[in-house]
Amino acid sequence: MSKVRNQYSMQNPLTQYPAPPFSEQPQAAPGLDAQMQPKPDHGEHSYQGFGRLRGRKALITGADSGIGRAVAIAFAREGADVVLNYLPVEERDAREVVGLIEAEGRKAVTLPGDIKDEAFCTQLVNQAHEALGGLDILVNVAGKQVAQKSIGELSTEQFDATFKTNVYALFWLCKAAVPLMPAGATIINTASIQSYQPSVTLLDYASTKAAIVAFTKALAKQVIERGIRVNAVAPGPVWTVLQPSGGQPQEKLPHFGEQSPMKRPGQPAECAPLYVLLASQESSYITGEVFGVTGGNPLP
C-alpha cells in the first residue's frame, strides 16, 4: 500500500506502491481481491472526489474488483450513482464496493450475471437504465485472461469464452446502451498494452484487446453525431486478481511488473482517475482515443 494515503501528495512513483518480488498465490478464477498479498489499492483510502460526475448515472462491468472496483469508488466519490455488474461468485468483493459507494451518499445497484450471454447484456443495460432513471456512462472493464504457453494448449472453448467476454459482450452492451444515452454521454472501454505488445502466453487475450482498440475508434465515429463520446484506457501490468487467478503463469507472478520502466505493477487506483476524466465533461473534445497507463512502456 501507499505510505501516503492522499494520492494528491507528491511522492516518488517508483516507491509509491509495492514492487516485486511477490509470492506465488494461485486462486481459482475469477478470484477474490481479499485473498491477494499485497492487497491492491482501489482508492479505498486514497481517492478524493471533487464533484466532477455529480448527478451522472454509470454502469460498470467487472465492478467488484480490480480496475472496475477502483472506477466504481472514484465515480461515487465524484458524485455518480453506479450499477455494478460482476459474476455471482464475486458477491463478497461486490458487497464491499456497495458499502463504499453508499458511504458517499450515492446509489449502488448490483446486477450480477454473466456477460457472455447476449440476452443478459441487453437486460443488464435496460435494468441499469431503469434503476438509475437514466444511463449516461458505460464503462466496460470485465475481462477474461488465461495464460497458455502455446497455441496447442489453447482450446477452442477458452478462445471462444475470451472473445465472448472481452469483445462480444462489449458489442452487446454498447448496442443496447447507445439508444438510451443522451447527448453528453460517454462510453469507456478497457483495452491493454497487450493490444500493441502481446505476450507470448496471451494469444487469445491480446487478440481481443486489439479488437477493442479498433471497435472503440470505429464506434466513436458512429455515435459522435449523437453527442456520445467513446474512448479506451489501455493499462499495462496492473496488480489485480486477474493475475493470480490464471492471467499469469504462477512462476511469473513473483516478477509481475518488473519489466516496466517503473519496475513495479500499477495499482487499480492509478487507473481510476483517467476513467473519471474520460467520463467527465472535462474531456469534451476527446473521442476515439486510447490512453495508456503502462508504467513507462509507451503505446504506439
Q: Give this prediction's pTM.
A: 0.96
Q: What integer pLDDT is reported at residue 9 of this predicted model?
A: 85
The mean-pLDDT minimum among 19-28, 31-40, 250-259, 262-271 falls in 31-40
Domain count for the chain, please give it: 1
Q: What integer pLDDT is reported at residue 246 of this predicted model?
A: 87
Domain-embedded: residue 41:
no
Q: What integer pLDDT is reported at residue 5 of this predicted model?
A: 55
Q: Average pLDDT of 1-25?
A: 81
- Grade residue 3 by pLDDT with cuts at 50, 70 and 90: very low
Domain-embedded: residue 92:
yes
Domain-embedded: residue 33:
no
Domain-embedded: residue 292:
no
Domain-embedded: residue 114:
yes
| Confidence check: pLDDT of 32 > 90 | no
Q: What integer pLDDT is reported at residue 61 of this predicted model?
A: 98
Interhelix angle for 66-77 vs 91-103, to 10°?
Answer: 20
Region of residue 242 (left: phi > 0; alpha: psi -120 to 50; beta: else): alpha
Which residues are catalytically annotated?
A: 205
Q: Single out the residue of 182, 161, 224 nearest to residue 29, CA to CA.
A: 161
297 close to 235: Cβ distance less than 8 angstroms: no
The mean-pLDDT minimum among 58-72, 108-122, 156-170, 236-250 falls in 236-250
Model confidence pLDDT, tens digit, residues 245-287 = 889 988 999 999 999 999 999 999 999 999 999 999 999 999 9
Domain residues for the domain of 90 are 47-286
Model confidence pLDDT, tens digit, residues 130-146 = 999 999 999 999 999 99
Using CA atoms, how far residue 73 sits from 84, 172, 197, 252, in Å, is 11, 25, 30, 30
Q: What integer pLDDT is reported at residue 6 of this predicted model?
A: 65
**Which CATH number belongs to the domain containing residue 257 in this structure?**
3.40.50.720
- Grade residue 165 by pLDDT with cuts at 50, 70 and 90: very high
Place of cell 494448449: 153
Q: What cell does 129 get?
A: 437504465
